[in-house]
Amino acid sequence: MGQCRYARCKIAFYALFLLLLQACGPSATESPPQPLSSWPPLPEPYYNRYTKARYELGERLFFEKRLSAGNAVSCASCHKPERAFADNVPVSPGAGNSAFGFRNSPGLLNIGYAPYLMAEGGVPSLEHFSVAPLQEAAEMNQNLALSIKKLQADTVYLRLFRAAYDTLPSIKYMARALAVYQRYLLSSGSPYDAYLAGDTEALSPQAQKGMTLFFSSRTGCSGCHSGFLFSDFGFHDIGLSVKENDPGRWRLTGSESDRNRFKTPSLRNVALTGPYMHDGRFGTLEEVLEHYRQGGEKTPNRSTLVRPLDLRPDEVQAIISFLHSLTDTVPYKKSYL
């Protein structure tokens, strides 16, 4: 009887928790989607604040293939919602030709919190960034002016731009709408968050063991993967051999001490965002953990935190189990459908 009451309470707790999460989920509302209450406020530029109309316009643009050469791909082609807005291939193909970039498509959830964008940190805000991939030959490969011409021929976009910014489709407001949409791609509902909220059973014993290891000085994982997003947004050389002539942050600064350093990615939803590393060289979390267990290669700026780890196989599996607990449980749904 007591057990039955306990089970009912637990179900009620979960139901309440899920309801709260649904309220935070990525669907367009009059008020902006809210991050978890334990997270800091989401920074937002005064000149491009959230409105439902802007979010919906940005969302439609994000899935719009006409923004690419030959109407071949959209932003969502390489930032797949079901993959936490990352891609499931090491490097994604561009539109209209056989060109490939040289970086793995990163997940976009919680990108509004990032103090700078790109693996070398060269872009200061979403407003600066959001149209950059549209013209890149290895990405969407279409001049912005042509993209706007296509949008201006569509009465739906005429209406949406009018509602969002009281203007005709333009590069400026396309960039802004895309920024609004991406800013409010917020993750929520992971078992880890439920655990932090008080549900001590949200994490399996194995995941709890992995969590202890993750935050321990023995592994040093949280030395870089810190904070509520599991990223210090610093730049680190983690002992990955240089491939495809990608020098990391050196590309931006030219400082030898920045060679092979890349921005720490967030680990939220990491179970969904493989392949891993800046070039997608590792297909599975097991490979990633093996890299860290061995201590990486002797690269010039390798972080002192990256060194051989004496981890048993069950401990590696425990860490992987913990990483899986960072996966959201609220599926993404297009708000305009």
The least distance separating other proteins from the CB of residue 144, rounded to whole angstroms, comes to 4
> Shortest CA distance to 131 belongs to which of 184, 82, 191, 181?
181
Contacts (CB under 8 A) with other proteins, residues 2-41: none
Is 329 near other proteins (CB under 8 A)?
no
Residue closer to other proteins, measured from CB, 103 or 209: 103
Count CB-CB contacts under 10 A for residue 270. Answer: 22
Question: Judged by CB under 8 A, which of 84, 175, 186, 330 binds other proteins?
Answer: 175
Nearer to other proteins, 18 or 171 (CB): 171
Q: With binding defined as CB under 8 A, does residue 95 bind other proteins?
A: no
Rounded-to-integer distance, Cα 134 and Cα 141, Å: 6
Q: Which of 256, 286, 290, 314 contacts other proteins by CB under 8 A?
A: 256
**Residue 96 found at the interface with other proteins (CB under 8 A):** no
Min separation Cβ 27 and other proteins, Å: 27
Q: What are phi and psi of 76, to 5 degrees?
A: -70, -15
Tokens of 214: 């993750």
- Measured CA to CA in angstroms, residue 267 lies from 61, 110, 206, 212, 221 at distances of 27, 11, 18, 16, 11
Q: Which of 39, 44, 100, 136 binds other proteins (CB under 8 A)?
A: 136
Number of amino acids touching other proteins (CB under 8 A): 31
User: Collapsing DSSP states into helix, strand and coil, what is residue 237?
Assistant: strand
User: DSSP character for 262?
Assistant: E
Nearer to other proteins, 125 or 222 (CB): 125
Q: Residue 120 corresponds to which amino acid?
A: E
User: Judged by CB, which is closer to other proteins: 180, or 207?
Assistant: 180
Q: Which residue's CB is nearer to other proteins, number 132 or number 158?
A: 132
Position among 24, 36, 89, 123 found at the interface with other proteins (CB under 8 A): 123
Q: Which structure tokens are listed for 63?
A: 């899935």
Q: How far is the CB of 94 from other proteins (least distance, A)?
A: 13
Among 72-80, 137-145, 313-321, 325-333, the segment contacting other proteins (CB under 8 A): 137-145
Residue 251 interacting with other proteins (CB under 8 A) = yes
Nearer to other proteins, 75 or 213 (CB): 75
Shortest separation between residue 64's beta carbon and other proteins, angstroms:
16
Apex 233 CA angle, 26 and 325, nearest 5:
50
Name which of 263, 313, 257 is nearest 290 in CA terms: 313
Minimum separation from the CB atom of position 112 to other proteins (A): 14
Q: CB of residue 95 vs other proteins: minimum separation in angstroms?
A: 15
Which residue number, 43 or 331, has a Cβ lying nearer to other proteins?
43
Which of 47, 99, 57 is closest to 78 using CA atoms? 99
Site string for other proteins, 271-300 (x = CB under 8 A): ------------------------------
By CB under 8 A, the residues from 142 to 171 that bind other proteins are: 143-145, 148, 170-171
Instruction: Name the burial class of residue 199, with classes exposed (0-12), middle (13-18) and buried (19+) by CB atoms within 10 angstroms of its CB.
Output: middle
CA–CA distance, 327 with 52 (Å, rounded to integer): 26
- Dihedral (Cα; 51, 144, 96, 151), 10-degree rounding: 60
State the minimum distance, in angstroms, from the CB of residue 12 to other proteins: 46
Q: What is the DSSP string of 160-197?
A: HHHHHHSS---HHHHHHHHHHHHHT------HHHHHHT
- Name the site residues for other proteins (rule: CB under 8 A): 118, 120, 122-125, 127-129, 131-133, 135-136, 143-145, 148, 170-172, 174-176, 250-256
